[in-house]
Amino acid sequence: MYTFSSRLKTFSFVLMILGVLGIGYSFFTAPKTVEDVEKILAADSHHGGHGSHEGHAHEITTGEANATEVHGQDATEHAIHDKIEHKENLEKHVTGSHEVDSVGQPAHDTAHAEPVVAAHGATDHHADEALTGAGHNDAHHEHLEHVLHQLQNKPWAAVYVAAIFFMLISLGALAFYAIQNAAQAGWSPVLFRVMEGISAYLIPGAIIFFVLLLLGVFHVHHLFIWMDPEVVAEDHLIQGKSGYLNATFFIIRAVIFLGGWILYRQYARKNSLLQDDANDNLYYKKNFKAAATFLVFFIVSESIMSWDWIMSVDPHWYSTLFGWYVFASFFVSGITAIAMVTLYLKAKGYLEFVNTSHIHDLAKFMFGISVFWTYLWFSQFMLMWYADIPEEVTYFVTRIEHYNLPFFGMVVMNFVLPVIILINTDFKRLSWIVVLAGIIILCGHYIDFYNMIMPATVGDQWFIGAGEIGAILFFFGLFIFVVFTSLTKAPLLAKHNPYIEESKHFHY
């Protein structure tokens, strides 16, 4: 039996406390009013800032960043500039709308659905208005309001990214566990208890995440702009999706998915423990069937989950590949977590039968799925970049413009480095190499999720500060606490699994 070392337990509490402090600080320092924002922007421009605040006097949003590169603060200049650009890019997007919703989607960014001429007319009207002084003030005020919403979103988004990331790591480990069961793998049963331990985090993780979704539905935070009736009233694209994107159905889906995953986890764990004392393979067979059923449920729920909880923060954007891309991201993270927890327990002398061959196999999966993630990342990115269709390419335009380093940096972290580090057979058997690669992969995939959520919620106001790091620390601490507590509940070797002997003698 494993005993939770008191040092690790203390460490997890320290992480949680530090995390809460960081999260609290970020909420406390988030601006409350437009005046606060003005101060922050003024301070920022003194220090040079990091974003394009100068250009921000005019609206830049996901939907129009490419069409409205704004170069000055002077509203007149903008308006003229806009007007010219529009005449040149008549077929392009509706831009320059000052009807800004809570987080900055242009309220009628519907270029691809509305007749171009009408849209153009609207822009002209706006441009004329902006020429007047009143228009200038309005514009400035609305800009400030927009930044205010982004900055208010920031602590929420930080918590949201960390919450979904750690929950999905646990789900990734659970999916891996189900695959190992369904595939009748002979090498991995000695690791089953580790996987079960990691999947234990799914329960608290899912509950916290569900609360975050509920807070969105009750308008406590505004990460999902389609939940804002004012936005929807003016955005006919979102109106078109409201049959799917509505709070009730959204919550029902979340309950089904989270509930289904937890149900499988609890059922599989129960059978796995019962199999320890069994004389036949009844519980093994039950788990085999449960794994196959879960995997069917998983492929469907996972796809829809990714549309709901990640893709819908950009409600104008869509990609058919998205669900599988998200899957690859958390699946590799889940496998990495399994490898790292295994190495920790092995180093503490708890996993008698785990040898370097098991680590080698896990490292191969880390390597292979990292490449698979890159394949999907590239497929999604390249196809949109290549076709350059305005309504979908904006997704990458905003990321490349405002998130250049995280966006391309994660490709280095999630692809280049794991491939270089883990291609060597001997290296895959060295603990410190696997841990090194694992840390890079986990950080890289956190940034991947960061890149998915942040551009739509905080725009160019992103920064990895107290809130983000605090949220990571809090959920990391909680993850350690829950996972290692769960590991103490049962022996670390799954006895009487029909493949356990194969697994104990596994050598590659």
Partner 1 sequence: MSSHYEAPIRKPLIIGDKNYHDVTVDVARPVEGRANKQWWIAFTIALAAFLWGVGCVAYTVGTGIGTWGSNKTVGWAWDITNFVWWVGIGHAGTLISAVLLLFRQKWRMAINRSAEAMTIFSVIQAAMFPVFHMGRPWLAYWVMPVPNQFGSLWVNFNSPLLWDVFAISTYLSVSLVFWWTGLLPDFAMLRDRAITPFTKRVYSILSFGWSGRAKDWQRFEEVSLVLAGLATPLVLSVHTIVSFDFATSVIPGWHTTILPPYFVAGAIFSGFAMVNTLLIIMRKVSNLENYITIQHIELMNIVIMITGSIVGTAYITELFVAWYSGVEYEQYAFLNRATGPYWWSYWLMMTCNVISPQVMWFKKIRTSIMASFIISIVVNIGMWFERFVIIVTSLHRDYLPSSWTMFQPTFVDAGFYIGTIGFFFVLFLLYSRSFPVIAQAEVKSIMKTSSEKYKKLHAAHDNHSHSEHNH
Cα gap 150→146, rounded to integer Å: 6
Q: Which two tokens stand for residue 231?
A: 């936005």
For partner 1, the closer of residues 21 and 247 by Cβ is: 247
Q: What does the H/E/C string look like for 305-351?
A: HHHHHCHHHCCCCCCCCHHHHHHHHHHHHHHHHHHHHHHHHHHCCCC
Q: Which two tokens stand for residue 162?
A: 């960390």
Position among 125, 141, 495, 505 found at the interface with partner 1 (CB under 8 A): 505
Cα gap 237→241, rounded to integer Å: 7
Report the length, in residues, of the chain: 508
Cα gap 243→240, rounded to integer Å: 7
For partner 1, the closer of residues 128 and 501 by Cβ is: 501
Residue 366 CA to chain centroid, in angstroms?
19
Cα gap 75→142, rounded to integer Å: 13
Position among 263, 300, 412, 439 found at the interface with partner 1 (CB under 8 A): 300
CB of 253 to partner 1, least distance (A): 13
- Locate all alpha helices (DSSP H) within 183-246, ordered by sequence: 192-199, 202-217, 229-234, 236-241
Position among 303, 355, 451, 485 found at the interface with partner 1 (CB under 8 A): 303
DSSP 3-state of 106: strand
CB of 81 to partner 1, least distance (A): 29
Q: Which residues contact 146 (CB under 8 A, 6 or more apart)?
A: 59, 100, 103, 104
Q: Are 30 and 152 in contact (CB under 8 A)?
A: yes
447: left (phi over 0), alpha (psi -120 to 50) or beta: alpha
Residue window 441-480: x/- pattern of binding to partner 1, with contact defined by CB under 8 A: ----------------------------------------
Of 192-200, 329-337, 385-393, 403-411, the segment contacting partner 1 by CB under 8 A is 385-393
Other beta carbons less than 10 A from residue 3's beta carbon = 10
For partner 1, the closer of residues 1 and 387 by Cβ is: 387
Position among 8, 321, 417, 430 found at the interface with partner 1 (CB under 8 A): 321
Q: Does 376 bind partner 1 (CB under 8 A)?
A: yes
Q: Does 430 bind partner 1 (CB under 8 A)?
A: no
CA atoms within 13 A on the CB side of 472: 12
Of 80-88, 233-241, 337-345, 487-495, the segment contacting partner 1 by CB under 8 A is 233-241
DSSP 3-state of 100: strand
Binding footprint of partner 1, residue count (CB under 8 A): 42
Residue 266 to residues 260, 269, 276, 353, Cα–Cα distance (Å): 10, 5, 16, 25
Q: Which residues contact 330 (CB under 8 A, 6 or more apart)?
A: 165, 168, 169, 171, 172, 445
Q: Does 237 bind partner 1 (CB under 8 A)?
A: yes
Q: Does 227 bind partner 1 (CB under 8 A)?
A: no
Residue window 322-351: x/- pattern of binding to partner 1, with contact defined by CB under 8 A: xxx---------------------------
Position among 49, 204, 260, 498 found at the interface with partner 1 (CB under 8 A): 498
Position among 13, 244, 297, 353 found at the interface with partner 1 (CB under 8 A): 244
Position among 246, 266, 355, 379 found at the interface with partner 1 (CB under 8 A): 379
CB of 501 to partner 1, least distance (A): 6
Cα gap 285→184, rounded to integer Å: 11
DSSP 3-state of 29: helix
Residue with tokens 């979102």: 238
Other beta carbons less than 10 A from residue 466's beta carbon = 20
Residue window 176-205: x/- pattern of binding to partner 1, with contact defined by CB under 8 A: --------x-xx------------------
Of 62-70, 125-133, 136-144, 320-328, the segment contacting partner 1 by CB under 8 A is 320-328
CB of 293 to partner 1, least distance (A): 10
For partner 1, the closer of residues 238 and 442 by Cβ is: 238
Of 26-34, 222-230, 387-395, 447-455, the segment contacting partner 1 by CB under 8 A is 387-395
φ/ψ of residue 417, rounded to 5: -65, -50
CB of 119 to partner 1, least distance (A): 15
Position among 7, 277, 349, 387 found at the interface with partner 1 (CB under 8 A): 387
Position among 9, 140, 241, 286 found at the interface with partner 1 (CB under 8 A): 241
Cα gap 50→47, rounded to integer Å: 9
Position among 116, 215, 217, 383 found at the interface with partner 1 (CB under 8 A): 383
CB of 135 to partner 1, least distance (A): 30
Q: Which of the 8 DSSP states describes residue 132?
A: S
Residues within window 100-119 making contact with partner 1, judged by CB under 8 A: 112-113
- The binding site for partner 1 (CB under 8 A) comprises 112-113, 184, 186-187, 237, 240-241, 244, 281, 296, 299-300, 303, 307, 318-324, 371, 375-376, 379-380, 382-384, 386-387, 389, 391, 498-499, 501-502, 505-508
